[in-house]
Structure 1
Amino acid sequence: MRHDPAAPPPVVLECEDLAFDYDTHKDAFGLRDVSLRLRAGRALGVIGLNGAGKSTLCKVLSAAELPGAAGGDWRPLRGRVAWRPRGGGAAVDPHARWRASGHWLAAAAAAAAAAAAADGRWAAAAAALALAGWWAARRRRRRYRAAVVYCSSEHDLAAHVLEDAWPLARAVCGHLAGLDAAARAALAERLLDWAGFRRYGDDGAVAADAAACVADAALTCGALSGGQRQLVYLLRCLAPCFAPGARGAPDVLVLDEAFTGLDARVKPRALRLVREARAGARVALLVVSQNLHELAALCDECACVAAGRLVDRGPAPDFLRPARPGAHAAAAFYLDAYWALERDMRAAAGPALPPEALARAAGAELRRQIAGLPALRRWGPPWDPRAPARGAAVEVGGLEAQRRFNGRRGRVLGAGAGRYRVRLADGQVLGVRRCHLNPLRP
């Protein structure tokens, strides 16, 4: 069914009167009576002081699986979470009983033992029902976590998700169903290149670009820095949104400080990729960040969490203003402290610095960089692994050192040494990698 542009986007994830408590520190942490709705193609930003309950809300909504002591059962004490698949079907509650697979296994074992002792059909039927219920619960959880994707910088989650032995192509796109190995490698190269993934030498010069890194089988996740690993982890969560031939694109992305650790060159590109996923794949976003400029770049609405409650909500441009009339005391305290710190940073920069330095301190430079990045091609898969045929019409894009050629069109003359020779309309011949060629429609 085609969506009416005049109607509000469909709700894909919602919760009502959500309450959650940890087993310890019940007075200090948790959620109280939280209700919200996330709509397809819209983004909600969340602010709040440390310990207010932002990450707890993300984990409960996404039914997160976390390593070590951070793991646990995120089933709410009260209220209900409901995922409504955009493709149709009944709403799914990831926390529906039974909540632990161990309960189903114990019930199945007990029923099987009773069947063996009594040789009765009822006991055998009970065992079969228990196993069926256990399998249904596991399947429901898998479906939910594929549709509501959780991405966080907490608890070294990137290191938990990405195995050290994985090469980059497998780390970014190895989980995509419906694509062969060549298509996954080509998509990984494209996303890594667009996100600005590079390896640098001792002198600070680029030692290997994205294409060379993907082709290097010896470069695995275990050799990446913390920031590089976080970027690869974020791209893994985003990859289904940019693979129209793959199955299982998410309905919701829950980004909990997902941009932490990304450098000044990569962060604008990562933010732009998230915006492209939201606009192109109509993914709903829940974004938690301590950087209000990131929220301004991504979100339609913002909300404040304080003491486990959702205390304020409004349109992002108005919500993020300091000294906003009618703001809840907790939101006003947070926003005033943030903008006061930024004013101090600008004052400390001093008038002797050029305007560019002041703009960076104020965050305007981040927004300018995001706006200046080219949009990804949507009329066809630019990561198509098939080699462009001789004479094929292409457009050059994504170059940096030779950015003057971006947007120029030409014809493929041939390939060699990992590069394609392209004759431009003015007669110039350019050598570029496959990831910088966008096929044109005949």
Structure 2
Amino acid sequence: MSNVLVNFLPPVHLKPNAGYSAQYDDYHYQATDNVSENGEDNTAGHKPRILLMGLQRSGKSSIQRVVFNKMPPNDTLYLESTTKIQKEDVTRSFIDFQVWDFPGQINFFETAYDSQEIFGEVGALIFVIDAQDDYREAVNRLHYTVTSAYRVNPNITFEVLIHKVDGLSDDYKIDTQRDIQQRTADALADAQMEHIHLSYYLTSIYDHSIYEAFSKIIQKLIRELPTLENLLNVLCSNSGIDKAYLFDTLTKIYIATDSSPVDMQSYEICSDMIDVIIDIECIYGAQNSASNGTTPSISGTDEDRSALASSPTVSAGSGGANGFGGADSLQEQLMSEQSQSTEREAEASSLIKLTNGDVLYLREVNRLLVLICILRQESFEKHGLIDYNFQCFKEAITDVFEFSNQRNKSQLADDNNIVDNNSE
């Protein structure tokens, strides 16, 4: 298995067996402030870092709160400007890393700051540009930041979010991205650093584009991505599935998908399915969880799933090819099969039939990961085969991440030994 794993980037730590609570409305910001005034990290351990940089009021803090803290986008209007590095451990997610939000008015490459300490262990540097503002100064800062960080750590992946594009016309978005790319490429060529690769994304916190961008960014940091994609390809080809996404439940970031092209519309509807299931579960599972004071997770108890099964059909109105349809024989068959499943196979699942005849099928891999598939109704008639293939897929996923955890522990032990030897 190790022969097919990519090992050229600092990996994002993965937690296949960590606990999870579906308290989605609790978005209170709890960033830890373990960074000293000179930029040094005072925590004992070192997790992969994702840096958010850019000019003031470009939207860095809003992105962090919306994606990782589930803050409603409209509430970000009241956020204060960041005045020092804000570091947050993303621990309730399947992907385990740190997000550092940098104030835009400070130059952290000056001699007063330890650039090696800040940028030495970074996985991705995300630079945010406000597309609704005059971005010439932002492009100059982008060039300076990228070239300076590259000299410190050439392994950083550089990502550029052309942000706040909501409300802009499609032509203006494309022209803005093309102009920023050209200005940046010219500046790098003048500095003889045209070999540095930057990826560009058009984003907004008011739609799914920000989640799509972070999905692609996170995937670059996951060493197991080729293996996950291969497993999803095998699952799709053997089960008649048109498209499959492996989602991190908390952030709605998909950490892997099959090799077929990603259609934004299919991604949006799969992402929305997570919110639909969580909302229904929180409503109909509240009575079961009230006695112990906990909130039901997406992998709740049999009682939680019974309440979910007895809930009314979700509807998104009439008309439209992608509206949610009513309950039918497929859902009844699924509920019947769930009631007869063994305890080993009693993970959470859900089925939604779309008015265009396609089926959305959700299966829980573990308490932090869900698989959401899009398939035709005639393909789902063989749902027994799909369920069997899913169990094989789930076992393979577990083996992959167990191997990854063992390797991470071994690497950490080797690093500690090197540090000890150097100190002697």
**TM-score past 0.5 threshold:** no
Question: Which of these two proteins has the greater Rg computed from alpha carbons?
Answer: 1
- In the superposition, the TM-score normalised over structure 1's length comes to 0.29
- In the superposition, the TM-score normalised over structure 2's length comes to 0.30
